[in-house]
Chains A and B, each alone.
Chain A
Amino acid sequence: MNGRKIGGVILQVEGISLAFGGVKALSDVSFDVREHELRAIIGPNGAGKSSMLNCINGVYTPQQGRITLHGRSFSEMTPHRAAEMGIARTFQSLALFRGMSVLDNMMAGRNLRMKSNLLLQALRLGPAEREEIEHRAFVEKIIDFLEIQAYRKTPVGRLPYGLQKRVDLGRALAMEPTVLLLDEPMAGMNTEEKQDMCRFILDVNDEFGTTIVLIEHDMGVVMDISDRVVVLDYGKKIGDGTPDQVRASPEVISAYLGVAH
């Protein structure tokens, strides 16, 4: 364990239920996330992990339940409000701005922090220019951090998959989020890429103190890096606790390995 201090509850999810027509994606799921924590959500395919993330960041509106962020409660979140309140996310199937360069993708992540108005921007007048330079400096730090200096000007669509995943993370980091939602950041990666990504995630958590909620398929990775784990199965929460507690839970074992009859 490293030296970061886990604080109080920053994000609380209470009694979330979400259904698409007759399909229940989530039923009555509750859990909390503490400040500076690395929290994982695991579960078999179709367990409702991504749906959960989409509820937190306002893409889906749950039929029931409440989300409390920084002490403010919402029955309905919107992606825009989530972003304004410091939630950033990455996507399972990449959702990058493919036609834009790595740099532009990340600069777009600074969008909410740009204050100068359209006219100033268009004429490139003093304040707008200065602002652009400040944001650029910040983005460059992230580019260094993620070790993608060489690809700054490359259109994202041309990068290999592993690097695209890194850019996705970089764009989220450019928002300076307080809570970072990662949707299967290691899906489809080879071992080496996975190790790199693990290192970046741990560093973000450690150096920037960012609270991270992570969805992952790879049990081994999750158990290694996360502080606490929520286990979902068929939209229900079947486990919640430290990796060791979860690993020992009979319900979790049966969900993953099947039960002996």
Chain B
Amino acid sequence: MTLNLKRNWPVATLFGLLALGMVLPLATGQSAPGFYIEVLLGGLMAGVLYSLVALGFVLIFKASGVFNFAQGAMVLFAALALARMSEVMPLPVAFGLAILIMIVFAWLVERLVLRHLVNQEGVVLLMATLGITYFLDGFGQTVWGSDIYRIDLGLPKEPMIVGQATFEGGILIGQHDLFAAMIAALLVMCLAVFFQKTPTGRALRAVADDHQAAQSIGIPLNRIWVIVWSVAGFVALVAGMIWGAKLGVQFSLQLIALKALPVVILGGLTSVPGAIIAGLIIGVGEKFAEVFLAPVLSSQFGLAGGGIEYWFAYVLALLFLLVRPEGLFGEKHIDRV
């Protein structure tokens, strides 16, 4: 991203407003510092999970140019598989088996769908993934059932309280949230190493940059797609495990994919760091809007004030589309005509 303020003033303005929104609650004394930090941390942790789902989108889009609508359904399916299998076997074994299932799924998608749609229009591929979405939803219920299932990670439920000396009442941190954030960070680091440092990662980046050239040097597109969908399946499994352990594995899990869409728009469809940073921005942004903006709206304008969490991310993404359609770190496409 270039830091040319003259050209990027709309983006700068937008971020300026966001930053102002961040500072105001503290500056106006609306919030105590301890509570403020709690909200911030809560937002960051939710953001990490958005990032995880967004990462699934970005991986597949980079390597195959497919906007994979099924990412949310993959999260649900993987979580269902993990939850049901962990009822009859230890969690690590179930986790391993769930990885295998997602790899088989990736292979099937390549075999039955992608291979036959090479070089088709983006819309055709999008529709295909929509089909996969509904299939996975239904098939998941057929195989695993449609109740709410638990995943027990064996973490203590009660939150930790830290920083009592500095802040009144200390800061509450959910141990589960902390664990989730650490897992997500670890996963992101592993992916970065895999993409940047291994020959296979290099081949993946090559395919992402130019299909034709990649083929000409003998990189097999089909195998690359299986690998990418497998990695996306793995990321979906981790996201599903963390969300599922927190909220229970249920149909609404796949709706977090809809939260990941604005993240992807904000960060750029082709950027791994973009997905991570945008996830954090949106996670924190919507928490702040909900906690600090809603009371202002209801006291000043007499509105009910709730529900901001549901639309904040989308409004932000829409504004961003207006000022920087390629996203924070996405590639700008300049075509010679």
For B217, give its contact among A112, A121, A124 (CB under 8 Å).
A112
Contacts of B209 in A (CB 8 A): 96-100
Interface residues on chain A, size class: 35 or more
CB-CB contacts of B215-228 with A at 8 A, as 1s and 0s? 11111100000010
For A95, give its contact among B202, B205, B208, B210 (CB under 8 Å).
B210
User: Which residue of A has the minimal Cβ distance to B199?
Assistant: A114
Q: A171 at interface (Cβ–Cβ under 8 A)?
A: yes
Q: Is the CB of A83 within 8 A of B205?
A: no
Query: What total count of A-B pairs have CB within 8 Å?
Result: 89
Interface residues on chain B, size class: 20 to 34
User: Which residue of B has the minimal Cβ distance to A175?
Assistant: B217
Contacts of A84 in B (CB 8 A): 218
For B199, give its contact among A96, A105, A132, A174 (CB under 8 Å).
A132
Please report the C-alpha to C-alpha distance between residue A171 and residue B214 in the assembled complex, in whole angstroms: 11
Of residues 159 through 203 on chain B, the ones whose CB sits less than 8 Å from some CB of chain A are 193-194, 197-200, 202-203
For B205, give its contact among A80, A100, A171 (CB under 8 Å).
A100
Please report the C-alpha to C-alpha distance between residue A79 and residue B198 in the assembled complex, in whole angstroms: 23
Contacts of B213 in A (CB 8 A): 91, 95-97, 171
CB-CB contacts of A103-131 with B at 8 A, as 1s and 0s? 01101111110101010011010001000
A114 CB to nearest B CB, Å:
5
CB-CB contacts of B120-135 with A at 8 A, as 1s and 0s? 0000000000000000
Contacts of B217 in A (CB 8 A): 83, 88, 108-109, 111-112, 171-172, 174-175
Contacts of A105 in B (CB 8 A): 206
Q: A57 at interface (Cβ–Cβ under 8 A)?
A: yes
User: Which residue of B has the minimal Cβ distance to A174?
Assistant: B217
Q: Is the CB of B218 within 8 A of A83?
A: yes
User: Which residue of A has the minimal Cβ distance to B217?
Assistant: A109
Q: Is the CB of A97 within 8 A of B206?
A: yes
Prevailing SS type, chain A contact patch: helix
Q: A166 at interface (Cβ–Cβ under 8 A)?
A: no
Contacts of B208 in A (CB 8 A): 99
Q: A89 at interface (Cβ–Cβ under 8 A)?
A: yes
B187 CB to nearest A CB, Å:
14
Q: Is the CB of B216 within 8 A of A89?
A: yes
Q: Is the CB of A108 within 8 A of B210?
A: no
Q: A59 at interface (Cβ–Cβ under 8 A)?
A: yes
Please report the C-alpha to C-alpha distance between residue A96 and residue B200 in the assembled complex, in whole angstroms: 17
For A124, give its contact among B197, B219, B331 (CB under 8 Å).
B197
For A80, give its contact among B200, B210, B215, B227 (CB under 8 Å).
B215
Q: Is the CB of A107 within 8 A of B202?
A: yes
Of residues 278 through 337 on chain B, the ones whose CB sits less than 8 Å from some CB of chain A are 331
Contacts of A83 in B (CB 8 A): 215-218
Q: Which residues of B contact A (CB under 8 A)?
A: 193-194, 197-200, 202-203, 205-206, 208-210, 212-220, 227, 331
